[in-house]
Amino acid sequence: MPLTESQIDQFRARLTDLRNVLDAQRGQDDKERLSPPATNRGGSDRGDESFAEMWTHLNIASAVQRVEAYAQVQDALRRIEKGVYGVCAECGKDIGLERLEANPVTHRCLDCQASAEDDRSERDATPSL
């Protein structure tokens, strides 16, 4: 069953709020990256260096995750504007209200998402030489 205008408006508001939160977190990320963790005042040792490297990798992973989440939110908002939000990008069937409530950025129905994950796991299971 297609979404009502009221439901679409609710998802638009929810996605806009999520985008605003991600924007705020991005600003906070920038501040945190400028101030690395404090190290031993007596000088740097291998443990300090290891911790600083881990901190850098965590910051990068976190930033990448937020960029991907932001892109997914933007994509969902574009689908709302195009009038195709809630319609599976693969098969054209309705995604379903429960699925959208659980994951408002999804662009596939359960069947197509399961199929995509099966395809990906089969590719990942084959070692490359």
**Tens-digit pLDDT string for the chain (129 aa):** 889 999 999 999 999 999 999 988 877 766 655 555 555 555 567 887 888 888 888 878 888 899 999 999 999 999 999 999 999 999 999 999 999 999 999 999 999 999 999 887 766 555 544
Number of C-alpha atoms within 13 angstroms, CB side, residue 41? Answer: 0
Nearest Cα to Cα of residue 38 among 48, 28, 46? 48
Return the pLDDT at 2. Answer: 87
Gap between the Cα atoms of 18 and 16, Å rounded: 5
State the pTM of this model: 0.75
Residue 52: count other Cβ atoms within 10 Å of its Cβ.
Answer: 14
Contact criterion met (CB below 8 Å) for 32 and 59: yes
Architecture per CATH, domain 5-125, reads as Up-down Bundle (1.20)
Per-domain residue ranges of the chain: 5-125
For residue 11, give both structure tokens.
């998802």
Return the pLDDT at 35. Answer: 55
Gap between the Cα atoms of 78 and 94, Å rounded: 17
Number of C-alpha atoms within 13 angstroms, CB side, residue 63? Answer: 14
Return the pLDDT at 44. Answer: 67
For residue 115, give both structure tokens.
């199929």
Q: For tokens 């992973």, what's the residue? A: 61
